Chain A
Amino acid sequence: MKVLWPIAYITLKEGIRNRAIYGISLFAFLLLGLNMLIANLAPRDVGKVAVDIALSTISFSGLLIVLFVAINLMAKDLDKKTIHMVLSKPISRSEYIWGKFFGIALILVLTVIFISIFAALSLYILKAGYESFFLRFSWPLVFLAIFFIVMSLILLSALSLLFASFSSTSFITLVLTILTYLVGRSLSDIKALIETASIAGATVSPITAKVVEVAYYIFPNFAFFDIKMNAAHGLSVPIATVFWTVLYCLIYGTLALTAASLVFRRKEFP
């Protein structure tokens, strides 16, 4: 267990020094600067638009970090054989997976905090300038939304580790992770669409409905972690919801990482 920290720490260092982080952060700052210009295009709901842009920037930047930094960290080990350096030490395959995971999670948390500081700044400035249009603005909700975003990114990373544990190339891992994100995010909307379609009279094949229902339980439901609308309009989130969401993240993440450890145990590195 004690080896988790050294693995996490060097993963963190290697990831943070990656050029991609700088690029992504710069991109985020640009968007947040633009926030100041775009938000006041809204005649009244400046607060809502400002929060939309700020949170979407954080969410998208985080996604880019998972796809291009996190996956890259795993891929580097496997493609470039740095894994030999690590696994030849007294480290088990599981410890490797979990250590890598914590390192990646740390990268995500630190980078999101960094970007969030600037997001908060842009919101603060806009709020000061457009006080009357920020009546329903709530800092706690904004931070809660950011926390939820971080959870969803960490969950996605855990899944990408699972994919990396059995994929032969980093490209496959990347594609699988993107697909999982796309499906996972849209599942709840697709499910809603199917349910309302039958009300509207349109026919939905029962096979489709069943597939969607099954998928709903298997795939990660990233919609659970999207409370941007709540933050944008000051709609509070019940504590119970927060509790269940955190639990979902913990359970699903642990499932993914445990599966990854199992798969990884069988992997060989010639």
Chain B
Amino acid sequence: MIRALTYALLAFLAITHIAVVGKLSQHENVFPMNEDQDELFVLPSAILKIASFDYKGIVSDYLFIKGIVYIGGSVQKGSSQKFNINESQWCAFYNMMQISTDLDPYFQDPYYIANAFLTWDAGMTREANSLLEKGSRYRNWDWSLPFFSGFNYFFFLNENDKASEWLMEASRRPGASPTIASLASKIAFKASKTENSISFLEEMIKQTEDESMKKMFAGRVEAYKAILDLEKAVDAYQRKFGKKPSTLERLLKNKIILEVPKEPYGGKFYIDSGGNVRTTSENQLMPFQK
């Protein structure tokens, strides 16, 4: 009799327990979560180094994963839309990658991921480069970090000398493709930016494994090729008529080009007041820089 009662009591308590837990979990989120204030809190790396004792490697791994999860929530795969991440969040992400690589400066993933996001999406190329350059010092067998740094200088920052310098560094490292050295010298000689952009981007496509990134580069290559064709057409016009055309229609009219190439981003090519071939989708082609 007592035993039956005990079991009944246990069952009753178990059910009540489940109900109470359910009730409490609803109350857990009572405090307003301010989306804007998702701060990534980390300790300064010097302190973290000391506090990690024997485990710097896995703390570095953890911080890296924490960092990509932090921005992962707002990532839309393969889209060229800007991410729903504000500046301070990008800074927090960058800081996280810095700290992760302070704990383990040989860890390649933070450098790669940080470079991918900070340049194209956050417009923080200089910060990306500071990471890449740190990585290059330690990962002295790795040609890709100085290569990306060189690309950044060329493509985003328009600093050809630095670009060339970093490309040369990359070319000296084991496994570097021979085209890198020739790219370095082409840029040093200040050949046409559009042509260099195409060469560079084609090299980037070869070096990237991520399919969505490959597609993104390919789109840009297509756009630049179209721009290159148009630039050649503009030069041909200038040779013929002594001045640059004011609009693309003039090229069509004068049969220098048979048709206006398709703009892969859905915008329109045009010629600006300085006679340069541009596109209305410049923001997507050439991301904003801070």
Contacts and interface: CB of A to CB of B under 8 A. Distances in A.
Given A42-B61, A56-B57, A190 B50 contact: yes
Interface stretch (A72-80, A222-230, A258-266): A222-230
Given A43-B109, A52-B57, A56-B55, 5 more contacts: A42-B64, A185-B54, A189-B49, A228-B56, A228-B57
Nearest to A52: B57
A263 to B, nearest CB: 28
Secondary structure at the B interface, as helix, strand, loop or mixed, is: helix
B54 A53 contact: no
A60 B55 CA distance: 9
B54 A56 contact: yes
A190 to B, nearest CB: 6
Contacts of A232: 57, 104, 106
Contacts of B58: 49, 52-53, 56
Nearest to B106: A233
Interface residues of A, number: 31
16 contacts: A42-B65, A45-B108, A48-B57, A51-B57, A52-B57, A52-B60, A56-B54, A59-B55, A63-B54, A186-B50, A189-B49, A193-B50, A228-B54, A229-B56, A232-B106, A233-B106
A43 B57 contact: no
Contacts of B53: 181-182, 185-186
Interface of B: 46, 49-51, 53-58, 60-61, 64-65, 104, 106-109, 112-113, 141
A136 B107 CA distance: 12
Nearest to A132: B209
Interface of A: 41-45, 48-49, 51-53, 55-56, 59-60, 63, 136, 181-182, 185-186, 189-190, 193, 196, 222, 226, 228-229, 232-233, 235
Nearest to B141: A136
Of B50, B54, B112, B141, most A-chain CB atoms within 10 Å:
B54
B184 to A, nearest CB: 25
B109 A42 contact: yes
Contacts of B141: 136
Contacts of A63: 54
Contacts of A44: 108-109, 112
A228 B61 CA distance: 13
Nearest to B53: A185
Given A56-B57, A222-B54, A48 B113 contact: no
A189 B61 CA distance: 19
B109 A52 contact: no
A48 B112 CA distance: 15
Contact of A52 (B49, B50, B61): B61
A133 to B, nearest CB: 10
Contacts of A229: 56-57, 104, 106
